[in-house]
Structure 1
Amino acid sequence: MDHLIEKTLSSKEIFKGRVIDLYVEEVELPNGKTSTREIVKHPGAVAVIAITPEDKILMVEQFRKPLGRTLVEIPAGKLEKGEQPDATARRELEEETGYTCKDLQPLISFYTSPGFADELVHLFIAENLEKLEIAADLDEDEFLDVMEVTLDEAQEMIQTKQIFDAKTAFAVQYLQLKKHFE
């Protein structure tokens, strides 16, 4: 594998934002030539498959500015500095849906776009949900609608492109496979 490594020759921060930082790096390729890489640095995120006692999936619909449209997604959010993924998962579940859970289990972690970003998403499943008496506050710039959908409805939403992001499509496929093997 060492024969595939790109050696960093220089790195320059181009942008430092609230959510991401952007770097341009000059690298030496395995063949000795040089190239430029544009890299997005992200603190990481969580996503939660939340299953209600009625066996429905909690989803949120929100506007996604880069796409210019709304998407239906599983609850998710970025890690805060020093925050453990399970704590972020509970916080995001509570903030975005108004539910908490008795059982929260990690499933898998995956990179979203390793060709240009280092964002690592930690996927959890939350069961034995309980409605909060006092809902947690959303982030001040966050607006969303909470939905409860069946697995069949979620699969249909993938077909109609209401669900059109990788983490949510992955979650729905995970539940479909889980159901198949039970």
Structure 2
Amino acid sequence: MKKNKTCCFIDYYSQDCFIELNHNNPDYIKLELKLKEILGSLVEDFSVNHFISGMKFGLEQISAEIILELKTKFSGVTLEGVIPYENYATDWTETQRDKYYSIMQNIDKEVMLQHNFSHDCMIKRNLYMINKSKYIILYTNNTSKINAINKYAKSIGKVVFIMDVETLNTIPNIKICR
């Protein structure tokens, strides 16, 4: 049996300045193309075959959708959705919830970490994903927000790619921390 090489993606991008999630927005199109390049490279160049998304609205869901596309091109690629608590998407807009449920219907594995919200549920979600992954992609526009999680991931031997969403770095230009 082939061992999974796993990658998770964690979104630390400030939602107040997030690129409008509109397929007609040139910035969105540019971001989506760059994510396709990066995630495709992980599959082809790094032999990553299992991806984990925390299903946060924004870059985590965009990445999950790209992985669902990659599953049609590469056999053996799987997607796991990690839900921090049962009613995670309850307060989202109808459009956001529709997108969330559309992705969740097509994943290979769903993991719900706890039934009720708690103040540390997102931290637990992130730790679960990091502990299961060899590669971690941290999407951010403020690297100071990710210092603790980056330090933890490095301390347990993970490969961390920090992607500054505003500059849209490619894999070779992403800061790789070991």
TM-score by length of 2: 0.23
More strand by share: 1
Q: Greater relative contact order: 1 or 2 (C-alpha under 8 angstroms, separation 6 or more)?
A: 2
TM-score by length of 1: 0.23
Higher CA-based Rg:
1
